């Protein structure tokens, strides 16, 4: 037995388990939630099916659209027609060779074509639209040139920083318009006519409705509108951003007089419907680029956008013992010790569905000695930024987050994603696990499956099209003292939350959920 599976000195019992054969899940397979945790079992380990699509032409034109699934053969940014100053900026950021989505979209956007770009996470979609925008802007650098709308503050900040880095040599002025920051300071920045505005729809809509025309008039003359993470921006239902998005788009120039760029990792029905819209007279054909490892057999339109370097597994967990299982899992050797190629233990993102769960779980893990921070919408914006920076800089190696961290964020070297709660929407599963296995690196996604989660598992399997591949993931279970320690830590975390204290024991004001 390995060192990582020996008994603890406190008398708890731990042991390793062999790989379990994959099988269909059923709710009666689970032990009673009130029982001690049963041994952790690896229920299914697989990668996305690598299904060859039927042979098609590399690109086709129909109904005012040009659809491409094969990028240009150009392997350098120079060959794509990118200006030397931008090539130099890209090299300074250690970006030397274009990815497939960049090869496909950059030349077409430079030709003035509206674009829908679909590509899996971690493939450089921001550069795919930022580079052509900045190249065209440099020829007419007056007033607001581009407005970029994105669903979360953290992703908006990341895009804003990339624009500043790429445009630094040309004195680019950009402004970040998101919730959690001072409205008055943002209004002043908008009134100064920045070249690029990066915003969340809710806060930009607030400015359009309340800040007055002297602040927002520059938006009416922008040349480009970008919807990043377009599937989330266009999603209907509870919490939809469509009302705010419509407020923004109705104020911005008409689609006939602007360039419109949509980028997404998941091609949803709402995104797909845009392909069929008639083109305004005189506008070049819409360019559609869908880059993926494979297409789903159930639909030529639906792309399963998970990297081939991603390993996925489910672990059966009694509903009331998730914290204990997580505490044990975080001590498994592969999740807690440096690899041969790394000097520090791997970084881990733990996804939960509710902000309260994120708050309590991060406190519980901290009390158990894990280096952890959190990211969710109820945190003040300054703390959100600070926590994310701490995780990026590897000062803390575990991030407990809601789906605010699942979209678009480029956090290097995340080795593991753990779904403490399974997402209710299968598309969100793709975005969560896409935080690891980026840029060709290996990554592992581990999902806790509780008694009530069977239907969610089946929906995810159907959505992403599984294919079995066996991988032996070392897992353990703890009893005795470990369960007692976890229970006490959770109770203390609950008391802190109820008393309104931060993770350092200081009393804080009640937090109100802020608008994105």
pLDDT in tens, 44-84: 333 333 323 333 334 555 556 666 655 566 789 999 999 99
User: Is the per-residue pLDDT at 471 higher than 50?
Assistant: no
- Among residues 99, 100, 108, which one has the least CA distance to residue 66? 108
pLDDT score of 279 = 83
Min mean pLDDT across 11-20, 177-186, 221-230, 251-260 is at 11-20
pLDDT, average across residues 203-230: 95
- Which CATH fold topology does 3-48+306-499 show? Rossmann fold (3.40.50)
- Among residues 139, 201, 444, 215, which one has the least CA distance to residue 309? 444
pLDDT score of 510 = 44
In DSSP terms, 118 is beta-bridged to 264, 290
β-bridge pairing 115-119 and 259-264: parallel
Q: What pLDDT, in 10s, does the model give residues 258-282?
A: 999 999 988 778 887 887 788 888 8
**Cα dihedral value 133, 137, 142, 147, nearest 10:** 0
- Greater confidence (503 vs 166) lies with 166
Please state, in angstroms and rounded to a whole number, the distance separating the CA atoms of residues 256 and 432: 35
pLDDT, average across residues 382-408: 90
64-291 shares the fold of 3-48+306-499:
yes
Q: Can you give the residue ranges of every domain in the chain?
A: 3-48+306-499, 64-291
CATH number of the domain located at residue range(s) 64-291 in this protein: 3.40.50.300
- Among residues 218, 232, 288, 236, which one has the least CA distance to residue 260? 288
Please state, in angstroms and rounded to a whole number, the distance separating the CA atoms of residues 15 and 36: 15
Q: Phi first, then psi: what are they for 144, rounded to 5°?
A: -75, 115
pLDDT score of 63 = 53
- Among residues 307, 291, 302, which one has the least CA distance to residue 105? 291
Highest mean pLDDT among 33-42, 75-84, 337-346, 438-447 belongs to 75-84
Q: How confident is the model at residue 474 (pLDDT cuts 50, 70, 90)?
A: very low
pLDDT score of 73 = 66
Min mean pLDDT across 118-132, 331-345, 363-377 is at 331-345
User: Is the per-residue pLDDT at 302 higher than 70?
Assistant: no
User: What residue ranges in 310-362 does DSSP mark as E strands?
Assistant: 310-316, 347-351
Judge contact between 415 and 393, C-beta under 8 A: no
- Greater confidence (17 vs 32) lies with 32
pLDDT score of 22 = 41
pLDDT score of 427 = 82
- Among residues 384, 346, 320, which one has the least CA distance to residue 513? 384
Decide: residue 406, CB within 10 A, 0-12 exposed, 13-18 middle, 19+ buried.
Answer: buried
Residue 237 zone, left/alpha/beta (φ > 0; ψ -120 to 50; rest): left
Highest mean pLDDT among 27-31, 35-39, 118-122, 291-295 belongs to 118-122
């Amino acid at each position: 037995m390995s060192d990582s599976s020996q008994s603890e000195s406190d008398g708890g019992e731990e042991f390793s388990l062999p790989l379990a054969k994959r099988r269909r899940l059923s709710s009666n397979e689970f032990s009673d939630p009130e029982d001690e945790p049963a041994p952790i079992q690896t229920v299914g380990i697989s990668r996305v099916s690598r299904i060859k699509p039927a042979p098609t032409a590399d690109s086709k034109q129909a109904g005012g659209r040009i659809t491409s699934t094969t990028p240009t053969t150009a392997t350098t940014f120079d060959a794509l027609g990118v200006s030397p100053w931008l090539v130099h900026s890209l090299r300074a950021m250690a970006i030397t060779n274009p990815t497939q989505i960049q090869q496909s979209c950059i030349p077409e956007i430079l030709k003035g074509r509206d674009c829908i770009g679909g590509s899996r996470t971690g493939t450089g979609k921001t550069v795919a639209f930022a580079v052509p925008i900045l190249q065209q802007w440099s020829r007419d650098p007056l007033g607001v040139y581009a407005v970029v709308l994105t669903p979360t503050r953290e992703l908006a900040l990341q895009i804003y920083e990339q624009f500043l880095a790429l445009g630094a040599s040309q004195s680019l002025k950009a402004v970040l318009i998101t919730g959690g920051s001072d409205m008055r300071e943002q209004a002043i920045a908008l009134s100064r006519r920045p070249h690029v505005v990066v915003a969340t729809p809710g806060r930009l809509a607030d400015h359009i409705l309340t800040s007055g025309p002297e602040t927002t008039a520059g938006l009416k003359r922008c040349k480009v509108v970008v919807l990043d993470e377009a599937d989330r921006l266009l999603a209907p239902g509870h919490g939809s951003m469509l009302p705010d998005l419509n407020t923004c788009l109705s104020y911005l120039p008409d689609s006939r007089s602007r360039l419109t760029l949509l980028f997404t990792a998941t091609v949803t029905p709402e995104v797909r419907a845009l392909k069929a819209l008639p083109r305004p007279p005189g506008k070049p054909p819409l360019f559609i680029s869908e880059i993926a490892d494979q297409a789903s057999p159930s639909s030529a339109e639906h792309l399963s956008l998970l990297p081939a370097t991603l390993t996925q597994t489910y672990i059966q967990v009694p509903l009331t013992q998730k914290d204990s299982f997580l505490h044990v899992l975080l001590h498994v050797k592969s999740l807690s010790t440096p690899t041969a190629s790394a000097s520090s233990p791997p970084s881990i993102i733990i996804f939960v569905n509710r902000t309260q769960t994120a708050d309590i779980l991060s406190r519980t893990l901290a009390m158990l000695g894990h280096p952890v921070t959190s990211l969710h919408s109820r945190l003040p914006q300054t703390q959100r930024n600070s926590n994310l920076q701490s995780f990026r800089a590897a000062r803390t190696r575990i991030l407990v987050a809601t789906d605010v961290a699942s979209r678009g964020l480029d956090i290097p070297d995340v080795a593991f994603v753990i779904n403490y709660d399974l997402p209710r929407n299968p598309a969100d599963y793709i975005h969560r696990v896409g935080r690891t296995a980026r840029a060709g690196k290996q990554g592992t996604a581990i999902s806790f499956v509780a008694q009530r989660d069977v239907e969610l598992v089946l929906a995810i399997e159907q959505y992403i099209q599984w294919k079995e591949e066996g991988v032996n993931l070392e897992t353990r279970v703890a009893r005795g003292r470990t369960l007692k320690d976890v229970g006490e830590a959770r109770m203390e975390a609950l008391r802190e939350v109820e008393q309104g204290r931060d993770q350092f024991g200081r009393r804080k004001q009640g937090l109100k959920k802020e608008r994105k």
